[in-house]
Chains A and B, each alone.
Chain A
Amino acid sequence: MNTILLQNLVNPNVNLPIVLPEMIVALTGVIVMLYDSFVPRQRSVTGAISLIGLAISAFFLVSMWNDAPQTGWNGMIASDGLRLSFTIVFLLVSAVTILISSVWADNEDVPIGEYHALLLFATFGMMFMASGNDLVIIFLGLETLSIATYVMAGLRRGDLKSNESAMKYFILGSFASAFLLYGMALIYGATGSTNITEIALKVANPNFPALLLVGGAMMIVGFGFKVATVPFHVWTPDVYEGAPTPVTAFMAVGSKSAAFASFLRVFVLGFPLIAGVQASEFLHESWVTALSVMAILTMTVGNIAAILQDNVKRMLAYSSIAHAGYAMVGFIGAGMAKNMQQRDAAIAAVAFYMLTYAVTNLGAFAIVTLLGQKNDRRTAFEDYNGIGFRAPALAFTLSLFMLSLLGLPLTAGFMGKVMVFRPALEANNLLLTVMVIAAAVNTAISAYYYLRLIVVMFFRERTTDWLAPRIPTALTAALLITVLGVLYFGIFSDGVIEKFSKSSVGTVFKAGTRP
């Protein structure tokens, strides 16, 4: 009995340093939870602890930056360019969200310690979504993130809109997770492995090619929901509008980039094009075509619907749908890359795009939080009438963020767009070129509603009394970080891109051009 099992046992391959950033975030979450249980009436200590934890985690992450790409835990965790660049985005998002939410938490009666703990655990989930090189890890990370955001969306329990938001997000989100899990099961059935590197090797000769296709389609549904692409975007406006604004910021930026990280890893690194192998070519062509059509739809629907909105939060929700479409352009560019360098550059471009979108959008949501007052009552466009000259600092910063979302040169948004469109153009493919043209047209359309907010702020008369709100210190810090980010990433983007362009763990790449 004893000796027979030995050949089946797998070496646990414990590799703690590789998951150190994740572990620090989880540990900080536990500390915050315990602190909150024993010192219940604090309002800011847990926030400080969380920020320190995130900073330590970021420190260890950065110290891993120059290591060669490696895997650990039997290939379940990959530490490569994709992981490092996305994880740093998550840590930044989480830290800025904590700074923004301090305002909201002071004005309202929310369980602040628990909120911080949930935020940290959500970040923990996101980090595993970027570093997971195994479908099991990716799914667990996604669930950790999702459950935390379901709860955070419903934190304002007295508010019906918040309840509605949490409820809708929960029901549709679990449905999407079920699709994703079904897809993963089918992929496992087709390839006999959940490890993405092994899946990539097996794609050329799968046990059941049909399962691979159906599984891929199911996973597109699941991930498509999380990144809010058309036609899986319907939940976005209601959920974003109802959730407390800092949570909306976190969802719009954090959840989206985490889902993009896993999406990239599973599709670009897991389902590569292996020239001359029919099964692989067919699978690759299917997903690239499907995602290209989705990307065009996403940009168009997002932008056109955003024009029709009267509420700033809803407008930003549709704008976040449109931005998912832009990021997908880079994603598909990575999928169509002709060699490893191009592919890694395209992945870095998507990560950089999410970074620029993160700083811009977090800044915009910070100001929306401040102006929204208690329970986010003041989020309609009318509430922004004529505040431009009464609170010039706020209005000018908000205008800067709007211009960056639009993609004006010298802002981060512009560089992000350039970076994600480039790989798609380099692919020299008709569909991808059409997609980039659609993206350019859509950018022009989006000018209408981004500029509208600026016009409203500066050139509309205000009929009611309005006092400029005092800007608390934490929010000032958040705005400072985001404004500097928007300008820095807009002007000195090359250095960041270079840092992000590290090779990925996926080894298979025998691609040529498709015949």
Chain B
Amino acid sequence: MSEFSLLDYAPIGVMFLVAIGFAASQILVTQLIGPRKRTATKLMPYESGKDPVGSARDRFSIKFYTVAVIFLLFDIEVLFMIPFAVAFKELLAQEKISTIAFGTIAFVEIMIFISTLVVGYIYVWRKGTFEWGLQARAEARAEAKEMVKEKNRRIRETQRVA
């Protein structure tokens, strides 16, 4: 059995160092050698060429949050598959030399696990969580209807008064 050695993970550490070093050096170098001309336009937040409108601290739709929550849950489900992927070959090899069907059981297990995941996906999909267009349009339509109703009511009132 292979032992654990911290040196095996040194490349990840090196990658981290390179990433941090690259980011830091970029910021540092631009600060040091870049020419600086401060104009009002340059100091403005960059919004793809348009003038920024309103505050950045604005409320946004809860739909984004739904997607984030669902992402988190599926992320955790994937996490359960990583150990399976690592151990599956080993379990299959063990199945060949022992009387217990390690590999088959693990495979059936992961299939059941994935099918519960698929049920969750079907549910989310059928409930229209990803149907942003439909939902948004329907909402807009409902709002328009309300506005029309309100306007009609006011018109009728003025007519009655008249």
A/B touching: CB–CB < 8 A? yes
Show the binding face of A for B, using Cβ within 8 Å: 1-6, 9, 11-12, 14, 30, 33-34, 37-38, 40
When C-beta atoms are compared, the residue in chain B nearest to A13 turns out to be: B100
Binds A, one of B50-58, B78-86, B91-99: B91-99
User: Are B102 and A37 in touch, CB under 8 angstroms?
Assistant: no
Residues of chain B with a CB closer than 8 A to A33's CB: 119, 123
User: Are A12 and B119 in touch, CB under 8 angstroms?
Assistant: no
A253 to B126, CA, bound (A): 33
When C-beta atoms are compared, the residue in chain B nearest to A37 turns out to be: B126
User: Are A2 and B97 in touch, CB under 8 angstroms?
Assistant: yes
User: Are B116 and A12 in touch, CB under 8 angstroms?
Assistant: no
User: Are B122 and A37 in touch, CB under 8 angstroms?
Assistant: yes
The reply on B127 being an interface residue by CB < 8 A is: yes
CB A282 to nearest CB in B, in angstroms, measures 38
Q: Which one, B93, B102, B122, B127, contacts A12 given CB within 8 A?
A: B102
CB B118 to nearest CB in A, in angstroms, measures 10
Residues of chain A with a CB closer than 8 A to B123's CB: 33-34, 37
The reply on B148 being an interface residue by CB < 8 A is: no
Give 8 pairs: A residue, B residue, CB < 8 Å, sorted on A.
A1-B2, A1-B90, A5-B1, A5-B90, A9-B94, A9-B98, A11-B100, A12-B102
In the A-B complex, the 10 residue pairs with the smallest Cβ-Cβ separation, listed nearest first, are A37-B126, A2-B93, A12-B105, A37-B123, A4-B1, A30-B119, A11-B100, A33-B123, A9-B94, A6-B94
User: Are B90 and A38 in touch, CB under 8 angstroms?
Assistant: no
Residues of chain B with a CB closer than 8 A to A4's CB: 1
| Size of interface on B: residues with Cβ below 8 Å to A | 17
Residues of chain B with a CB closer than 8 A to A37's CB: 122-123, 126-127
Residues of chain A with a CB closer than 8 A to B100's CB: 9, 11-12
User: Are A14 and B94 in touch, CB under 8 angstroms?
Assistant: no
Q: Mark B57-71, 1 if CB is under 8 A from A, else 0.
A: 000000000000000
User: Are B119 and A6 in touch, CB under 8 angstroms?
Assistant: no
Q: A1-B90, A5-B1, A14-B105 are in contact. List 20 more A-B contacts (CB 8 A).
A: A2-B90, A2-B97, A6-B94, A6-B97, A6-B98, A9-B94, A9-B98, A9-B100, A9-B102, A11-B100, A12-B100, A30-B119, A33-B119, A33-B123, A34-B119, A34-B122, A37-B122, A37-B123, A37-B126, A37-B127
Residues of chain B with a CB closer than 8 A to A40's CB: 126
Residues of chain A with a CB closer than 8 A to B90's CB: 1-2, 5
When C-beta atoms are compared, the residue in chain A nearest to B105 turns out to be: A12
A34 to B100, CA, bound (A): 35
A33 to B122, CA, bound (A): 10
A40 to B94, CA, bound (A): 47
A37 to B105, CA, bound (A): 31
CB A121 to nearest CB in B, in angstroms, measures 11
CB B30 to nearest CB in A, in angstroms, measures 44
When C-beta atoms are compared, the residue in chain B nearest to A36 turns out to be: B123
A167 to B98, CA, bound (A): 51
A14 to B98, CA, bound (A): 16
Residues of chain B with a CB closer than 8 A to A38's CB: 126
Residues of chain B with a CB closer than 8 A to A14's CB: 105
A38 to B125, CA, bound (A): 11
When C-beta atoms are compared, the residue in chain B nearest to A9 turns out to be: B94
Q: Mark B1-33, 1 if CB is under 8 A from A, else 0.
A: 110000000000000000000000000000000
Q: Mark B93-116, 1 if CB is under 8 A from A, else 0.
A: 110011010100100000000001
A2 to B94, CA, bound (A): 7
User: Are B94 and A5 in touch, CB under 8 angstroms?
Assistant: yes
CB B113 to nearest CB in A, in angstroms, measures 13
When C-beta atoms are compared, the residue in chain A nearest to B90 turns out to be: A5
A9 to B94, CA, bound (A): 9
When C-beta atoms are compared, the residue in chain B nearest to A29 turns out to be: B119
CB B81 to nearest CB in A, in angstroms, measures 18
Residues of chain B with a CB closer than 8 A to A3's CB: 97
A5 to B94, CA, bound (A): 8
Residues of chain B with a CB closer than 8 A to A5's CB: 1, 90, 94
CB A347 to nearest CB in B, in angstroms, measures 33
CB A495 to nearest CB in B, in angstroms, measures 39
When C-beta atoms are compared, the residue in chain B nearest to A14 turns out to be: B105
Q: Mark B118-137, 1 if CB is under 8 A from A, else 0.
A: 01001100110000000000
When C-beta atoms are compared, the residue in chain A nearest to B96 turns out to be: A2
When C-beta atoms are compared, the residue in chain B nearest to A3 turns out to be: B97
Residues of chain B with a CB closer than 8 A to A2's CB: 90, 93-94, 97
A40 to B98, CA, bound (A): 49
A12 to B100, CA, bound (A): 9
A95 to B144, CA, bound (A): 44
Residues of chain A with a CB closer than 8 A to B102's CB: 9, 12
Residues of chain A with a CB closer than 8 A to B94's CB: 2, 5-6, 9
When C-beta atoms are compared, the residue in chain A nearest to B109 turns out to be: A12
CB B56 to nearest CB in A, in angstroms, measures 28
CB B70 to nearest CB in A, in angstroms, measures 15
A81 to B75, CA, bound (A): 39
When C-beta atoms are compared, the residue in chain A nearest to B102 turns out to be: A9
CB B110 to nearest CB in A, in angstroms, measures 13
When C-beta atoms are compared, the residue in chain A nearest to B115 turns out to be: A30
